[in-house]
Each structure stands twice: as C-alpha cells, then as structure tokens.
Structure 1
C-alpha cells in the first residue's frame, strides 16, 4: 500500500508556526485578526465559517464576522469590504464565495486590498502568481498542494508533474507555482485524448478535475506520487476525491486521502497568510 500523505499533519505544523508568529504580534500590541464577510446563511458557508473559526482559535487569530442578508444590495457589500480594508485592526479579509447572483462577484472581489486578500482571489493576487511580483497571496488550495509536497520532503525540481484540471483558481495557478519550483508541468483535463498515457508519464500526478473517479488504476503506475485535490460527494453522500483511492493506493508510492488531505491544509494556509508579510 502507498504511503498516506496526511494533510492533518501538515495543517498542524503550519498552524503551530502561525501561532508562534501571532503570539509575537500580540506581544507587540498588534493582535492578528481576520474579518469574514458573509452574504446570506448557506449551510455550506456556515460550516466553512465554523471550520475557519476553530482553526483561527488554534492559531491565535481574532475573528469577526460581517454577516449581510442574502438580498443585500451591492453597495452594502462594497461598504463592508471598504470598511475592512481601512480598518487597521483587520489583518486579513475572507469574502465567502460564491456570492448571490444579483451581485457582481468579480467587481466585489477586486475591491479587497491585495495585502488583505488572504484567499488570493483578486486579480492582483493572481498576477502575483503568474508574474512573480510578490503582490497579494497565492490561492490557498494550490499553495496547500505545494506545502504538502514540501512537508514530506518531495523535491519537485526537474520532476515531471501532470495536473488534471485547468480551473483558474486551482489548476492554472498551481501549474505556475510548480514551474516556479523548476518542475516540468503538463496540464491535462477531462477532454484530454488518451489521458492514461499522459498521466502514467508523471513522477507526480495531481488531480483537480472535480469529478469522482477521474483517476483510476489505469491512469497510474508504480513509483508515482498522487495528490488528490478533488472534493466530491458520491451517491451515498460520502465525501470522495477525484481518485479511486482503493484501487490507486495499491499501485502508487504515496497518495493524499480525501477527506484528510489537501482540504485539511487549505484553511491553515489561509490563516498563515495573515502574518506572512508582517
């Protein structure tokens, strides 16, 4: 069986490091703080909020929530963002997405000050990833993948890495971040012809397609490392990744589980951004 690359172990290490830094900030009279801006009360948003709050407590970060009604007008959401931007006690902003359809999501995202854009959602943050300007922050899920590889001592320099998935928030920025680490990256997707031929060539295979069983036994070979970014739910309501875990884990050398893999690291990465530039 493959080595299990536990995300919980990585998240704990990141959170411990963040806690050390936030303790220093608090001692200097500048406590770390996060402002969540939430529009509506979707169950998924409330569950996410509980998860972020728990991790924030562990990391020594104060958390406040600006909760607006589902039918809040755009100017009210913009005002909440501007208020958080200009509040010197707020170190970072997390705008829950997606927003209700009556709101201009792209416009509102780009109102967030880049140095408070913890989720790496603004155009300025994305530019920082693609051009290496250092502005803003990288998106948290791609960074979580990189942190997992680094934590387990998996060197990407010179490695052939295949990413299955081309979304603007995971696949594309992740490719740029891996290239920055001197990996040779191939991007595939669910429409790629003869996908197994491509995926078997990889030293490291990363699936971020967003579909269960995208990666099966025929897509992998012995000696590979597999990172499963997918979060999906099967017919029984069980959370699963993009990878057929039972079949693939019998073949490859190492694999991340779902749950307990990349998703476990994402919140820890987001909160680490609060003090990474301070």
Structure 2
C-alpha cells in the first residue's frame, strides 16, 4: 500500500519523461482541457477508422525529418505506462509503451527513437490539438464525443467501466450500493461521463488529474470507491491486495491511438502497424503485462474500417 502512494508522488511531480536515455523536450500540456462538443447525430460506429496504408504523407515526413516520434503517454498506470523504481534506469514500460515502440520501429526503423511526454487524462486532446505530440497512446477510449476533436486508429484493446473498492466494502458494483458513497474519478475520463448520466446517488465531487491519484485517496479513506476502466482497475488492485473490482463492466469501450484531426496519412500508417501487431506482438505484450491481472485473452479486437 505504501509503495503505491510513493509511486504516485513521484509520477505526478515529473512532467516530462526520457525515452531510454533520450532527452525529452518542453513540458507537456496545451492551453487547457478540451471542451467536448455534442457528438454527431450520425455517429454509430466511432471505432471505424481509415483503411491501413504503408504510404507516406506530410505528418509522417515531419516525424522522419525530426528523427523521433513524440508521444503522449501515462507514467503512473501500472502495467500500461509506468516506471519501475526497482529497475535501473527507470525506463517507461507497459502495454501501451510496447505499442509506442512498435510504431517507432515501423515509421523510423528504430523502436528507441521516441520522445515520451507524460500527459494527464484531461490534457490528452489539448496536447494533440496544440501539436505538442504526434499522437497519444494512453488507454484512451474511442467515442463519439472525442472523434469530433481528434482522429483515432482502429481499436487495439477492449475494456469497460467498473467499480474498484475495498474488499470489505458493502459496495457491490455499479448499482444502488453506490448511494451516498464518495467516488473518485479522473477528470476528462469516460467514467466521469458515464457517472453523470447515472450516478445511483453517489457523490461525484472528487476528480483528479491522473487515475492513480484515486488509488491514494482510496487508501487514505478520503473516498469510498473508484470508477475506472476495468483494465486499469485490475492494475491498481494488483498494487494493493486490499481492494478489488466490484461487479461486472457496465460499458463497452475500446482503446485507440489518438492523432490530430485530419492527419489521415498518419492514421492510416498507424493502422497498418496495428494490422501487423495484432498478428505478431500484441499477444506477447499482453502476456507480459496484463495476463497476470486480467487472465487469458481471446486476442485484440478486430479492426473496423470506414
């Protein structure tokens, strides 16, 4: 328990990361939290992306001229994007980080030509829109609201929102047992949007920039439960054996790589990377990082194209 609290303190205070010894640039950010616009009326399948292509384009040539891929990531999500303080060098690692290195390998011919920028949940879209990053690979759910602001690759992971609470809690899941309970949510997350539609009488006043901050608040007794992606919640439960996921997922969500609106050639190139990665790489990464907490997987979600 104490370890998780210490890790959070380190992660939140470090705004910029280094990629395997490579200097990262200016601090991440953007002008502020992106305001979600109403989803298009005809948005029925937000996971459908442009068809894959191995061709080039202005966004790809810019990356090649720079000599490195600039990617917004998380640095405090255990198993997904984090630094293990017990390992020399403290390089970023995790399921999302493996995918970033794969994209760099395919575009630049070197998996280490990456500049990581740590971005809070609510700064993912502004960082893309401002051009601070080429893309965000940070457990980011594809949905109708977000595709108004950024373009996504095809889905590379499926999950759903779940409740995370102490094992001895009377909370049983996303149901009436949340009534009067104080929940912790990451600002700008799909959990926050879902709870605004139906909260079951829970207190939603506690929001934090990063998901792991919720774990600390739960450990300190400041909140009764967390609502987050089940995939992230499983990682938090692995850090603290006194908590567990409660009930079943109450949404169906898919993670995608987010890029600037209109960066079609880059999106198509990333989709081509994912075509190959689903066949060779995805399973080994899943087994290395997620299988211990999530169990055996049937594989990545099938790609959808428009």
TM-score computed with the length of structure 2 as normaliser:
0.29
Q: Which has the higher helix share?
A: 1
Kindly indicate whether structure 1 or structure 2 has the higher relative contact order, using CA contacts under 8 Å at least 6 residues apart.
2
TM-score computed with the length of structure 1 as normaliser:
0.31
